[in-house]
């Protein structure tokens, strides 16, 4: 038997060493958390944490895997390059679209450069260039003509075909002036800050949800089914690598850039050619200093070998090329004095404190405001007026408060406490159960009227089509609508609306009035109840309440004790419901809604007990049922429908394009059902 080296003996010992239970628990939690956030980032284009926060967790995961090799899980994000493609038509990768090894310190950068020079020689040349914060796309050209554009997908096997949308990007060249037999190039699709601001401005004008940052918007746009949306949003593209060629070879990366630029292809514009550790680090610092001057976001600097043959000799790991690393800049942070805390009442009555501080420049933009979220957040950081706050930019976009420099605290300092009454209407605020938010439950609060109405007429509530932000605001500003009930009296003001051109042409007015009439006829009691904006009462809770009480009138008359008899209704939620219906103004409004002919009684009568005692969660697009129809089917057969997956979930009913709920169900070992499986459970 071959004798193991001392290093290999140590490695074998590490593999077989017993792993402490607390390490196993921490590692398992990290794998689940990182996979959840990867799903949100890649497939749902809706990240919940910054790249920096993800990177810090990922570094800890890698540290545990290095220390305890036996702990490595098959679904560890360290073994994955990208994320599975799940929307468009799948295309096989000719060349893997790998990730880059992230480094976070000068020491790590120096070690990479030093190792390359020791292996390849002191004359080894590097390129240091901007790492654009966007999403990867590969373009394939046959004899100079663009034939396919694909996303990274899983990075190894396949991506999604996005050719139709790629053609709508002005930076994408569809025909090369100096063609070769075959060319595949890889780049980063991104949005300038100006283009991103325009998209969000248009979304606000239409009463639609805005995007969190340019990267999310670019990712969602590239995978749109409607190419006109891609054209309107003005995406951009930088090419950063030649993946594969036939008919011509390049000796260096910079030579490839010259060829691409001669064909009108836009390559990374900010880069430096370097040879020593000092030159590389200086280039990284120069790029970092220019972050604020660039019209787009970057999230790091890439250090790569210039020599193509050297790259080929070094090759790749399962996940990264060995010839390149990405230095990630830490979030920029500065200190500033807290001048005041502004308290706002938002769409659903949620009261949000906002820090107003002396203006500072972060990542090239001037900021003077940042949300403080809620009282728990304020208490945790120990914030008071006059404090010196430490503010940073999350993901280069959103200013956030990191902490307080208590050494600079004023002598007359006092901890800040949120008011207990609404800053707009003076009503008492209610704290939601199992949450830190305070809410105003007065439906007539001026701070919530427009946005409250938007929630009331939304698809998940009364579903009045055509009532977007601009229209609702015009009706409120014109004095036609003061509350929910006024919507159902607009038909009496038809002539006035047309004469004053509130909605434009007479045809538009009649179309809206018809949509309101349809809502009166078709909207269920569950839709009405969930649209009222009662704290903790969404669609699922509305169904549970009406299953128990049958009518909205009965819910309005129920005591706190009676309300807590409904499953998942705790004391705080029960008190919030009772407070809502106990308010005289709300009771008057409910009476007016009832007089308008709205449905106050549930039609979801239980007719079977096949699902008795079972809790279901529905996700994705089902073949024949809407989610509402599936929920009604489950409830009519004695089951319960919840909005989120937990250990209490019995089954996940899953359709196409299921997102993070499917991942969580898998992690918790919860069985999944198709629509057909669901029906068969009843039949069986």
C-alpha–C-alpha distance, residues 469 and 207, integer Å: 4
Q: How confident is the model at residue 47 (pLDDT cuts 50, 70, 90)?
A: low
Domain 333-408 falls under CATH 2.40.50.140 = yes
Residue 9 has pLDDT above 50, yes or no: no
Name which of 256, 314, 289, 243 is nearest 127 in CA terms. 256
pLDDT > 50? residue 340: yes
Q: pLDDT digit string (tens) for 391-443? A: 987 655 678 999 999 999 999 999 999 999 988 888 888 886 666 788 888 86
Please give the CATH number for the structural domain made up of 615-683: 3.40.50.10190
pLDDT of 243-264, one tens digit each? 999 999 999 999 999 999 999 9
pLDDT of residue 577: 92
- Total number of residues shown for the chain: 684
Cα–Cα distance, 271 to 99 (Å, whole number): 20
Which CATH topology does 90-327 take?
Answer: D-amino Acid Aminotransferase; Chain A, domain 1 (3.30.470)
Alpha carbon distance 673, 616 (integer Å): 10
Q: What is the pTM (predicted TM-score) of this model?
A: 0.53
Measured from the Cβ of residue 42, the count of other Cβ atoms closer than 10 Å reads 21
- What's the CA gap between 135 and 187, in Å, rounded? 8
Which residues, in sequence order, are CB contacts of 562 under 8 Å at separation 6+? none
Q: Dump pLDDT digits (tens) for 477-520.
A: 888 998 899 999 999 999 999 988 888 788 889 999 999 999 99
By C-alpha distance, which of 648, 667, 652, 647 is closest to 616? 652
**In the predicted model, what is the mean pLDDT of residues 118-135?**
94
pLDDT class for 267, splitting at 50, 70, 90? Answer: very high
Average pLDDT, the chain: 86
Averaged pLDDT for residues 530-550: 85
Cβ atoms 377, 441 nearer than 8 A: no
Q: Which CATH architecture has domain 6-79?
A: Orthogonal Bundle (1.10)
235/348 Cα distance (integer angstroms): 33
215: CB partners within 8 A, 6+ apart: 133, 134, 135, 190, 191, 297, 395
**333-408 and 429-595 agree in CATH topology:** no
Nearest to 455 by CA among 446, 463, 444: 463
- pLDDT-derived band at 54, boundaries 50, 70, 90: confident
Cα–Cα distance for residue pair 529/526, rounded to 1 Å: 5
Tokens 């819910």 correspond to 555
User: What is the band of 451 on the pLDDT scale with cuts at 50, 70, 90?
Assistant: confident
Question: For the residues 224-250, what does the mean pLDDT come to?
Answer: 91
Is residue 3 within 8 A of residue 631, CB to CB? The reply is no
The strand pairing partners of 653, in sequence order, are 618, 673
Paired residues of 430 in beta bridges: 439
- At residue 573, the pLDDT reads 85
Buried (b) or exposed (e) across 396-421, using 16+ Cβ within 10 A? Answer: bbebbbebbeeeeeeeeeeebebeee
If you write DSSP's letter for every residue of 201-250 in order, what string do you get? HHHHHTTPPPPSSHHHHHHHHHT-S-HHHHHHHT-EEEEEEEEEEES---
Q: What pLDDT is attached to residue 109?
A: 96
Domain boundary assignment for the chain: 6-79, 90-327, 333-408, 429-595, 615-683
| Dist CA 635 CA 645 (whole Å) | 17
User: Which of 294, 313, 339, 8 has its CA nearest to residue 130?
Assistant: 294
Contacts of 569 (CB under 8 A, 6+ apart): 541, 544, 545, 563, 577
306 secondary structure, DSSP code: S
Residue 587 makes CB contacts below 8 A (sequence gap 6+) with 556, 581
| Residues designated catalytic | 131
Largest CA distance in the chain: 97
Statement: residue 16 has pLDDT above 60: no
Backbone angles phi, psi at 318, to 5 degrees: -65, -20
The pLDDT tens digits of the residues spanning 363-396 come to 666 789 999 999 999 999 999 999 999 998 765 5
Mean pLDDT of 603-632: 81
Return d(Cα 590, Cα 328) in angstroms, integer: 55
Show contacts of 275-278: CB within 8 Å, 24+ apart.
Answer: 275/122, 275/123, 275/124, 275/125, 275/126, 276/113, 277/109, 277/110, 277/113, 277/114
pLDDT exceeds cutoff 90 at 138:
yes
Per-residue pLDDT tens digits for 60-104 = 888 888 888 888 887 787 766 555 544 568 899 999 999 999 999
In the β-sheet with 135-142, what is the strand arrangement from edge to edge? 145-151, 135-142, 182-190, 236-246
Rounded Cα gap, residues 423 and 429, in angstroms: 10
Q: For 429-595, give the CATH class.
A: mainly alpha
pLDDT at 5: 41
Q: What is the pLDDT of residue 8?
A: 43
Q: What is the pLDDT of residues 269-313, one digit of tens each?
A: 999 999 999 999 999 999 998 887 888 988 899 999 999 999 999
Long-range contacts of 165-171 (CB under 8 A, 24+ apart): 165/221, 165/222, 165/223, 165/224, 165/227, 165/230, 166/137, 166/139, 166/222, 167/227, 168/227, 168/230, 168/231, 168/235, 169/230, 169/235, 169/236, 169/237, 170/234, 170/236, 171/236, 171/237, 171/238, 171/266
User: CB–CB of 623/673 below 8 Å?
Assistant: no
């Amino acid at each position: 038997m071959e004798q193991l080296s001392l290093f290999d003996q140590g490695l074998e010992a590490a593999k077989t060493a017993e792993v402490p239970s607390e390490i196993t628990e921490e590692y398992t939690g990290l794998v689940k958390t990182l996979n959840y956030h990867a799903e949100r980032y890649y497939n749902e284009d809706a990240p919940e944490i910054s790249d920096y926060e993800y990177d810090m967790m990922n570094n800890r995961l890698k540290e545990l895997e290095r220390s305890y090799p036996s702990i490595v899980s098959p679904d560890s994000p360290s073994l994955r390059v990208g994320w599975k493609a799940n929307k468009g038509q799948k295309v096989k990768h000719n060349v893997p679209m790998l990730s880059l090894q992230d480094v976070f310190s000068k020491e790590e950068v120096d070690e990479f450069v030093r190792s390359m020079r020791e292996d390849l020689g002191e004359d080894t040349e590097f390129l240091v260039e901007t790492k654009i914060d966007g999403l990867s796309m590969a373009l394939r050209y046959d004899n100079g003509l663009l034939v396919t554009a694909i996303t990274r997908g899983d990075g190894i096997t396949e991506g999604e075909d996005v050719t139709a949308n790629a053609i709508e990007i002005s930076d994408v060249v569809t025909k090369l002036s100096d063609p070769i037999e075959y060319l595949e190039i890889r780049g980063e699709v991104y949005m300038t800050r100006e283009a991103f601001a325009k998209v969000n401005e248009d979304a606000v004008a239409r009463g639609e949800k805005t995007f969190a940052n340019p990267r999310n918007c670019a990712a969602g746009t590239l995978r749109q089914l409607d190419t006109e949306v891609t054209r309107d949003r003005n995406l951009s593209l930088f090419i950063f690598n030649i993946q594969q060629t036939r008919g011509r070879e390049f000796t260096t990366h910079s030579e490839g850039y010259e060829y691409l630029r001669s064909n009108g292809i836009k390559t990374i514009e900010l880069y430096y050619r370097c040879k020593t550790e000092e030159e590389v680090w200086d280039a990284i610092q120069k790029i970092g200093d220019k972050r604020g001057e660039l019209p787009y976001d970057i999230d790091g600097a890439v250090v790569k070998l210039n020599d193509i043959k050297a790259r080929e000799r070094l090759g790749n790991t399962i996940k990264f090329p060995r010839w390149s690393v990405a230095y990630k800049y830490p979030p920029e942070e500065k200190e500033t004095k807290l001048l005041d805390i502004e308290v706002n009442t938002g769409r659903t009555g949620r009261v949000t404190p906002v820090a107003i501080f002396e203006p500072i420049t972060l990542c090239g933009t001037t900021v003077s405001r940042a949300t403080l979220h809620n009282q728990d957040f304020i208490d945790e950081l120990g914030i008071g007026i006059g404090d010196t706050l430490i503010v940073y930019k999350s993901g280069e976009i959103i200013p956030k408060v990191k902490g307080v420099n208590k050494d600079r605290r004023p002598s007359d300092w006092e901890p800040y406490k949120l008011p207990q009454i609404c800053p707009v209407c003076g009503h008492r605020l209610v704290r939601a159960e199992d949450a830190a938010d305070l809410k105003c439950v007065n439906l007539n609060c001026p701070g919530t009227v427009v946005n409250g109405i938007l929630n009331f007429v939304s698809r998940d509530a009364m579903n009045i089509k055509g009532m977007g932000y601009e229209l609702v605001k015009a009706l409120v500003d014109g004095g036609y609508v003061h509350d929910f009930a006024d919507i159902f009296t607009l038909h009496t003001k038809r002539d006035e609306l047309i004469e004053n051109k509130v909605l434009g042409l007479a045809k538009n007015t009649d179309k809206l009035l018809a949509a309101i009439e349809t809502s009166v006829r078709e909207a269920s009691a569950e839709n009405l109840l969930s649209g009222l904006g009662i704290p903790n009462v969404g669609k699922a809770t509305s169904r549970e309440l009406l299953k128990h009480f049958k009518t909205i009138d009965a819910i309005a008359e129920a005591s706190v004790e009676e309300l807590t008899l409904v499953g998942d209704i705790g004391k705080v939620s029960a008190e919030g419901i009772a407070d809502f219906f106990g308010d005289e103004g709300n009771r008057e409004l409910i009476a007016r809604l009832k007089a308008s002919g709205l449905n106050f009684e549930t039609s979801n009568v239980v007719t079977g007990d096949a699902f008795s005692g079972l809790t279901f969660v529905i996700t994705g697009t089902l073949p024949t049922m809407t989610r509402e129809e599936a929920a009604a089917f489950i409830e009519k057969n004695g089951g319960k429908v919840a909005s989120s997956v937990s250990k209490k979930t019995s089954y996940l009913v899953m359709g196409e394009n299921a997102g993070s709920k499917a991942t969580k169900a898998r992690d918790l070992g919860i069985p999944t059902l198709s629509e057909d499986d669901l029906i068969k459970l009843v039949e069986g």
